[in-house]
Structure formats: structure tokens, C-alpha cells
Amino acid sequence: MKAIVLSAARLVMIAGLGIAVVSCGKSGGGVEGNTYEANGGTFQIQFKPDGKATVALGPMAGDCTYAQKDKTVSVTCEGDKIDFTVNDDGSISGPPDGMVGTLTKKAS
């Protein structure tokens, strides 16, 4: 009887850890599949699932690439790289000394 209770407790613990790992991996601040904007939408970054991004400033748009590691997203356009920080509220911020401020996730 004691062995059955311990086995059930282990199963519940393993299932809970599995759910936590899957949840953190998917919703842990990933930018993939989202669009972020600033200045009323005049500046946008669309993060596509294949490591590609589209950066738009007004009517002009360019193709870029990106890579995310933890809370840092590196966007590279024509050889120039900008590192963004994923904030706890879901927004992303450019470098403190740069021209790019904070971008918020666009509602889908």
C-alpha cells in the first residue's frame, strides 16, 4: 500500500514538473510570432517563427534576422545588430543609450 502511494506521488510530481517545463518554454517571454510597436505603430518589429523579422519605420520595411537567448533578443539588419531586453510586462526595450525605446506587444 505504501509503495502505491509513493508511486502515485512520484507520478504527480513528474507530471507537474513536465507541465512547468513546457509552460515556461512556450510562454517564457518568447517574441516569436509576435509584433511589437512604438510611437503609435510607426515603428514595428514582426518576429517570424523562422528566425526572421521584419522591421518597419512608417511605410519603409526591411528584412532582418533575430535570435533570442533568455531575455535578450538580438535583431540584425544589414549587418547592424541591436539587442533588446524582454521585460516582465511583455514589452521589449532597446539599449538604454540608443534611439529605440520600449516597444509593446501589438494585440493580435
The residue among 98, 23, 30 whose CA lies nearest residue 67 is: 30
Q: Does residue 26 sit in the same domain as residue 39? A: no
> Buried b / exposed e across 67-93, counting CB within 10 Å, b at 16+?
ebeeeebebebeeeebebbbeeeebbe
Q: Does residue 18 sit in the same domain as residue 40? A: no
The residue among 80, 75, 37 whose CA lies nearest residue 53 is: 75
pTM (2 d.p.) = 0.70
Asked if pLDDT for residue 76 goes beyond 60, the answer is yes
Asked if pLDDT for residue 81 goes beyond 60, the answer is yes
Number of domains in the chain: 2
Q: Does residue 26 sit in the same domain as residue 41? A: no
Can you give the residue range of the structural domain that contains 12?
A: 1-30
Q: 49 CB contacts (<8 Å, ≥6 apart)?
A: 32, 33
Instruction: List the alpha helices (DSSP H) in 1-108.
Output: 2-27
Render pLDDT for 5-61 as a digit per residue (tens, 0 to 9). 334 334 333 433 333 333 333 445 699 999 999 988 899 999 999 999 999 999 999
Asked if pLDDT for residue 73 goes beyond 70, the answer is yes
Q: Does residue 62 sit in the same domain as residue 40? A: yes
Q: Does residue 40 sit in the same domain as residue 91? A: yes
Q: Does residue 68 sit in the same domain as residue 92? A: yes
